[in-house]
Structure 1
């Protein structure tokens, strides 16, 4: 960490603080200077500042401690990153006002990781630390042991760390290797490597199927964690959302024991979340299961990081600098020499690139095991025999219901009719007040704006003057109504993000569910119908096809091995073929090659810069791009597609600038972006500027 001097605002506050303290406060006799990262997000202040440590705080103001310091005339939080004998600043220093936590919450390896994430995502260190360390809760630290174990004192396996690009070890497999991993090529070898404490990296394509109500992958993942624990190492498991979290938690309780792990996620209250974080800091919790924010958890002697379903956009942080949990996990695995597993039913282009580079190795199902575990998947495009269902889908659903089994009906969108268009010219129907999309919230309801809630009974198309509306896509609620009429007497169950349903019994029913909200069925579904495949594939986004494969395979995995899955889409399309053949790695390799041929991620790096017009112009003036960087735009953002930004002055339009560079220029481009933000921040308030490196989708 490079040393930094105090800003002029800091010097002024230092003099005032020192004067107000009088002669009663004396610096510590040894290492009297604390270098502090101050929790201020201004880019031009992204550097550490020096403060004096009062004698009374000598023992508590250690590296990693959260402190309160006076900065620019106000008290702010900060973190001590080191203690020094002297400062390189010749002026007067302010004192540390208070040590907030009685334990050092910022571990050295997390500080280094956070700095690297900030550098790669063109962000600031305080912003990343805000993602990594939860707000303090005083109640959570009561009745905790005062001493902290040595972070390097945990037992390690004697085996040496294998090279990142080396093959998975082969040879004899210990008798305790779980049988679940025997179904994978290199599966037993992966478990043996984890049990030996080796830093192997794998892209794991999971088998479909369930163990009771648990997905098979969750049990196998818990067995991988158990193997890492046999080596005396800690483990970190990252999943997209609460449903997957509950599955892994249950599996770990079964395999490792109920007290063997902690979960970290945003739905915990602040006190409970901080108490669990403190357990991880203290080393009393050596296995962490969590959502996106938990990827920074300071697990002691970390030996394994697992990211499940890395294509899910919920693994991207919603706050600046918007890092992806997969990329943070990759940095941790490289920096801390840990094992890494990227798992899922499907494979992302990013994971396929790691395989092509030799950085990771594939762990795929054995074909004989896959044929026995996977349902039969067929495409059901063609002339529908009734409504939205072709004849093959009707036959599959009726056969499953006659067998006494539930049927999963997968719908891309929730709601009743979530999107409308002009029946005459097919232009999207938007609210005359706020330009939000119109939809029909329930049967018999008038068209209503999905943003502001205003009814639009007298809507008129601004393009052609037409007054009639048509549905663009039918939501889950409308689908449930249609199926209720088509299958009279059959129970209809609805599951979506707003109406969660954990599981359904093994009895005849039609379960209408949206992506990521599919409930498990006891023994598996008898059939699944994946509706409106064209809606997902026609989305104008880079990852539309990849997302379709991922969602279809996740839904198909819930079906019994003797069941059928019908995808309502053109069977000749590559994404449909990937699901029909259950060949996600083939599709990911194809997708990677096609994107590389036209210069799209992950072979290149993309950056989106969104801001009000005047702010974007000033940013461009301060931006000095590395050679070879391509610039697209700026273009006005569609007011109908993006809600108005409250921080934009007046009615000033927002614009977007896209940048593209070779992947080798990642750090140089990120540094140029950070420099431009620092320059702009130092001379004017930045309003509404959003810089996102590697956005999850390039639209």
Structure 2
């Protein structure tokens, strides 16, 4: 049987050479989701087996004859287990995919989040592609071409990487034209040019740069800007949207340690980079950067841990300052910087008295801009009618399968569920048995129809989840886009209309106002210099934040309010979900930590844990200081292990789940 060495997991460093002929042992982290197996297991390397080196993938026995995959963390000739030790079954690949810095990061992240290191490694290391591995092992490493001639933008925050500065950057909006790798002119956001300039500082020092972005739209702009700043050969993308061989080829190139820029979504923060000079996160307040899989670690938190281990320069940048970044600025951990200037006129406006969708000031701004440039109209919801009600009794029309809300994607389309997608062709009201439906609200396609009638002869296009458009040319037209789906226009938009402010702010959640400001600032950044931005249906501090030159005062106010209420990010939290007895035991153990307070327990919603039923589980929220994070994580991990050791029926939800920094309980605040 495999054995667990005594003491904490060893450091992820290469061992000293083993004397020839001596028995070698490998310490392996197995690829398992079970919390009981989050440890290093010791195996003997059979005589004659080669290739068992730190970082390689192996197959090892676990629980008798059952084989499982794992990664070798270290090899040694000294045994740490006195009992029987099983042999390594097979070397899956000779490529050291688990680099020392990635193992150290995975272990630290797992310990901070009370999770398992294998869960982190599953996100960090892509699946094996044997053909790509053979090519990588056989190829000769060609020397990279010299860097392109430095451009004017290279003066952005000079010396940042060399001084290993940690900064929070508020980037002004606007777009700029540059030349891509093929010599063609192309437009990108000025923010991308700034980050590419900072990345060049690391490349010039022979180091690597990692830049994490929320989605493929930002990644495309950054790729173009980096190609212009450092050359296309020095840019590596790691993205789940890539084909598996392409992604694995990029991952293996990161292992080589060349001076390259690595870009991608949240998982790119774990990319191997032995000489990391810069780690940057773009729009760190974007919820897309929160990992949806265990241990649910936000890319920003992973970046903070990695910066502490590597000592690299750290950049948290965005068009709007997040409250999390502002907390780090106020603590003195990050410096504040603001880059660029974007001259636009922002006009807040309430809806007109006659109930028209777009106020008169927005119509005037759009009409003036359409003479020379396109106009962006940002709306809250996709489709034609986001909601439907019974035409007889007024009850909300819901899906008969999952009880989700019904809507229409286009005029005259068959109603469908917005959650499960099931069609409701023969819908009947559950209250009055009526069959007529009344449309509620206006989605992107319905607003596009209305604007088409209001601006006859002007082309109108829709950009949302079903109609993806990354870029458009500079021809005058109306572009109706949902939040996050706005295409980039050559030269920028002549006017930006931010509709549905009231709908955006009427949602429930701790970060609703902060998220609204971020999304409005992102849309405002697409406007051309001198353009008009009209914001409708909003007021108060959010309007002040978007109409001013900076969003920092808004972030400060948000953080101050959170401190008074003891809400994140002023404090850290842990959601404790499980059977009532397991929750009670966990709460009792956590309550021994000084200054920790507990909210609840209360009945947990059925959808919090997969497979649970309404009223079956309870949930409590523990709030604690950042300084107590390690102690809370240790206690939480111990209670999860104790609960996991108890038997449960197949398919039943786990007896206890503890998630640190869980945003879900605060979505309804």
* TMscore range, shorter length: 0.7 to 0.9
Where does 1:309-388 land on structure 2 (aligned, <5 Å)? 309-365=283-339, 370=341, 373-384=342-353, 387-388=356-357
Residue 207 (1) aligns with residue 157 (2):
no
Cα contact 1:292–1:317 (8 A) shared by 2: yes
Residue 573 of structure 2 aligns with which residue?
Answer: 606
State the match for 2:403 in structure 1.
Answer: 435
Gaps of 5+ in 1: 7-26, 155-175, 183-187
The 3-state SS of whatever aligns with 2:274 is coil
Q: How many angstroms does 1:351 deviate by?
A: 0.2
TM-score w.r.t. the length of structure 1 is: 0.84
Change (3 A) 1:251 1:382: same
Q: Residues 111-150 of structure 1 correspond to what in structure 2 (within 5 A)?
A: 111-145=103-137
CA RMSD of aligned residues (A): 2.8
Distance change >3 Å, CA 354–CA 431, structure 1 → 2: same
Check if 1:621 corresponds to 2:589. no
Q: Which digits, 9 at most, give the CA deviation of each residue in 1:570-625, with x for residues without a partner?
A: 33x101110011321111111111111111111111223445xx4x5435435521
Give the aligned partner of residue 622 of structure 2. Answer: 659
Q: Secondary structure at the match of 2:233?
A: coil
Shift in alpha-carbon separation, 1:262–1:354, aligned structure 2, 3 A: same
CA distance 1:415–1:143, shift in 2 (3 Å): same
Task: Call closer, same or farther: CA 1:491–1:622 in 2, change over 3 Å.
Answer: same
- Shift in alpha-carbon separation, 1:30–1:605, aligned structure 2, 3 A: same
Q: CA deviation at 1:29?
A: 3.0
Moved more, 384-393 or 583-592: 384-393
State the Cα distance separating 1:283 from its structure 2 match: 2.0
Give the equivalent residue in structure 2 for 1:56. 48
1:279 aligns with 2:270: no
Q: How far, CA to CA, are the matches of 1:531 and 1:53 in structure 2?
A: 65
Structure 2: gaps of 5 or more residues: 7-18, 178-186
- Does the aligned pair in 2 maintain the 1:313–1:696 contact within 8 Å? no
Q: Which residue of 2 aligns with 1:65?
A: 56
Change (3 A) 1:86 1:353: same
Tell me, in whole angstroms, the C-alpha distance in 2 between the residues paired with 1:469 and 1:607.
43
2:524 aligned with 1:559: no
Q: What is the CA–CA distance in structure 1 between the aligned matches of 2:496 and 2:559, rounded to whole Å? A: 29
Alignment partners' CA distance in 1, 2:354 and 2:308: 54
**TM-score normalised by length of structure 2:** 0.88
Q: How does 1:108-257 map to 2 (within 5 A)?
A: 108-145=100-137, 179-180=152-153, 188=156, 190-194=157-161, 197-212=162-177, 213-257=187-231
Residues in 2 aligned to 1:445 and 1:270: alpha-carbon distance in whole angstroms: 37
Using the TM superposition, give the Cα deviation of residue 57 of structure 1 relative to its aligned residue in structure 2, in angstroms: 2.7
Matches within 5 A, 1:664-683: 664-683=627-646
Displacement of 1:74 after TM fit? 1.3
* CA contact 1:201–1:359 (8 Å) conserved in 2: yes
2:614 is aligned with 1:647: no
State whether residues 257 and 275 of structure 2, in contact with CA within 8 Å, keep that contact through their aligned partners in structure 1: no
Aligned mates of 1:470, 1:303 — CA distance in 2: 58
* Secondary structure in 2 matching 1:679: helix
Give, in whole Å, the separation in 2 of the partners of 1:205 and 1:651. 44
Do the aligned residues in 1 keep the contact of 2:576 with 2:586 (CA within 8 Å)? no
The answer as to whether partners of 1:376 and 1:561 remain within 8 angstroms in 2 is no
Instruction: Give the aligned partner of residue 107 of structure 1.
Output: 99
State the SS of the aligned residue for 1:660.
strand
Distance 1:595-1:424 versus aligned 2 partners, 3 A rule: farther
CA contact (8 A) 2:583 2:619 kept: no
SS in 2 for 1:193: coil
The count of aligned residue pairs is 628
2:647 match = 684
